[in-house]
Homo-oligomer: A and B are copies of this chain.
Amino acid sequence: MSQQIPYKIYLEESELPAQWYNVRSDMKNKPAPLLNPGTLQPITLEELTPIFCEELARQELDDTTAYIDIPEEIQSFYKMYRPSPLTRAYFLEKALDTPAHIYYKFEGNNTSGSHKLNSAIAQAYYAKKEGLKGVTTETGAGQWGTALSMACSYFDLDCQVYMVKVSYEQKPFRREVMRTYGASVTPSPSMNTNVGRKINEEFPGTTGSLGCAISEAVEAATTQEGYRYVLGSVLSQVLLHQSVIGLETKAALDKYGIKPDMIIGCAGGGSNLGGLISPFAGEMLRGEADYKIIAVEPASCPSLTRGKYMYDFCDTGKVCPLAKMYTLGSGFIPSANHAGGLRYHGMSSVVSQLYDDGYLEARSVEQTSVFQAAQQFARVEGILPAPESSHAIRVAIDEALKCKETGEAKTIVFGLTGTGYFDMVAYQKYNDGDMSDYIPTDEDIAASLSALPNVD
């Protein structure tokens, strides 16, 4: 008997996850340890705690505990905007005339506009619990900064955001959302830090970079009493928090006895993808089930599909620990691509290891085809997606169209990480026909990879 699946599957509050799932616990090949950037030796808890909160540093290093309790206060905050809906894309299926069943987990129904809030609230909680005054971070496109400012406002923590200067100027509305939540937003490079002053002196008129903003945020955290630095992606602790996405998705599917054939997510630093796939990858790792998992990245910044699996710095400023990951080289500068959240040179070490072990495949897609998918999706499903999320939409549509050819009724689940309300400049370019694609040459990638330290 096939039960009628509603348009949106919501979990009851009592069905919400009370624990995060740590996929590393089920990995036979653990992600390689982080290295101290000074000694190039595996980093210790003691070395991590001047930068990160102690509990977060502990989570970062813990690759054996399977389930970690979500503190009561975080569970309570989650209820502000969770469960997020798992939506059956009936309208999209009809528009594509495909026999495939398409579902998407929509994480954009909160004011930060994305899944970033899931980890921001956890990181703010531990900072508060540790008695800190505040946290510092960097933001590029602005989703992470917004999420963190919301989380800090909730716990009455000071929130200092270093925002890449070009975004600060081009995205004044993102900045105002952060200010409304009480965060201070500083265009980077600034005159607040040594590294900012130095860069301003060396490159007068520079519009900044994520690498520089990270360096400023880390300096601000380590030179102010009672501050720590927080990061919105790449780290294993972030993937742990984001497992709430996958756990909810799995619970919603299980409720209706739905077994997905494939799970698709966009991949920048890997936080959304890693969170979404965690429980499913866990089943694969334990040999209980098999899924086709697809990571989708922009052709302009193809770390999984064209990068190398090696140790690299997590930041261009080279102040953070090194991680073993698929990388294009920390000096790689992706060309103008509007999916700001996917312009990261590397990839979460968890996702990298799973990819290297064959548990997931990767695809790169070009920007104009991504916006074409975004527009089609927006028109039939009524949600204007973020450019980042639209990478997953592109591949979900491609796979659904393959089903149309073969007549297979596959079940496709993808992560819709956020909304595009603050990305209208990119949509305007697309609407005006002014959008172009860019694919780095092999020489570009080889050059930035050759500059890396030789570890391993």
Q: A80-B7, A173-B421 in contact; A382/B111 too (CB < 8 A)?
A: yes
Chain A 358-386 near chain B by CB (<8 Å), digits 1 or 0: 00000000000000000100111111100
Interface check A172, CB cutoff 8 A: yes
Interface string of A412-440 (1 = CB under 8 A from B): 00000001011011011001000000000
Instruction: Give chain B residues whose Cβ lies under 8 Å from the Cβ of A421.
Output: 113, 173, 177, 421-422
A154, B384: Cβ atoms closer than 8 Å: no
Cβ of A12: which chain B residues have Cβ within 8 Å of it?
A: 6
B173 touches A375 (CB 8 A): no
In the assembled complex, A180 has its CB within 8 A of some CB on chain B: yes
Q: CA separation between A180 and B41, bound complex, in Å?
A: 51
Residue A404 is within 8 A (CB to CB) of chain B in the complex: no
Residues of chain A in range 87-130 having any CB-CB distance to chain B below 8 Å = 91, 109-111, 113
Give chain B nearest CB distance to A447 CB in angstroms. Answer: 37
Does A306 belong to the interface (CB within 8 Å)?
no
Contacts of A4-23 to chain B: CB distance below 8 A: 6-8, 10, 12-13
Q: Which of A173, A182, A428 has the most CB of B within 10 A?
A: A173
Please tell me if A150 contacts chain B, counting CB pairs below 8 Å.
yes
**B residues within 8 A CB of A13?**
6-7
Cβ of A81 < 8 Å from any Cβ of B? yes
B180 in contact with A375 (CB, 8 Å): yes
Interface check A176, CB cutoff 8 A: yes
Known pairs A13-B6, A80-B91, A384-B180; A424 contacts B378 (CB<8 A): no
Chain B residues within 8 Å of A79, by CB: 6-8
Contact yes or no, A378 B431, CB < 8 A? no
The answer to the question of A179 belonging to the interface, with a C-beta cut-off of 8 Å to chain B, is yes
User: Cα distance A7–B10 when bound, in Å?
Assistant: 13
Max chain B Cβ within 10 angstroms of own Cβ: one of A10, A80, A172: A80
Asked if A200 is at the interface of the complex by the 8 Å CB criterion, the answer is no
Is A291 in the interface zone, CB < 8 Å from B?
no
CB atoms of B172 and A428 under 8 A apart: yes
B contact residues around A379 at 8 Å (CB): 150, 153-154, 180-182
Q: Is the CB of B176 within 8 A of A80?
A: no
In angstroms, Cα B111 to Cα A97, docked, is 24
Task: State which residues 155-184 of A face B: CB under 8 Å.
Answer: 172-173, 176-177, 179-182
CB closest residue in chain B, given A106: B109
Inside 8 A of A422's CB, which chain B residues have their CB? Answer: 421
Complex Cα distance A424/B427, Å?
19
Alpha-carbon distance between A12 and B428 when the two chains are bound, in angstroms: 37
Known: A378-B180, A382-B81, A384-B180. A424 touches B173 (CB 8 A): yes
**Given A7-B80, A80-B7, A428 contacting B176 (CB threshold 8 A):** yes
- Given A91-B80, A109-B109, A173-B421: A181 touches B378 (CB 8 Å cut-off): yes
**CB-based nearest B residue for A424:** B173
Considering residues A91, A154, A379, A422, which has the most beta carbons from chain B within 10 angstroms of its beta carbon? Answer: A379
Which B residues touch A375, using CB under 8 A?
180
Which B residues touch A172, using CB under 8 A? 424, 428
**Chain B nearest Cβ from A419, distance in angstroms:** 7
Tell whether, in the assembled complex, residue B180 and residue A111 are in contact, meaning their CB atoms are under 8 Å apart.
Answer: no
Choose one: B91, B109, B111, B384; the contact of A177 (CB below 8 Å).
Answer: B384
Identify the 8 closest CB pairs spanning chains A and B, nearest first: A173-B424, A7-B79, A176-B424, A80-B382, A111-B384, A421-B421, A176-B428, A153-B379
Q: What are 12 residue pairs bridging A and B, where the CB atoms are less than 8 Å apart in the complex?
A: A7-B80, A111-B382, A111-B383, A111-B419, A172-B424, A176-B431, A177-B421, A177-B427, A179-B427, A180-B431, A182-B379, A421-B421
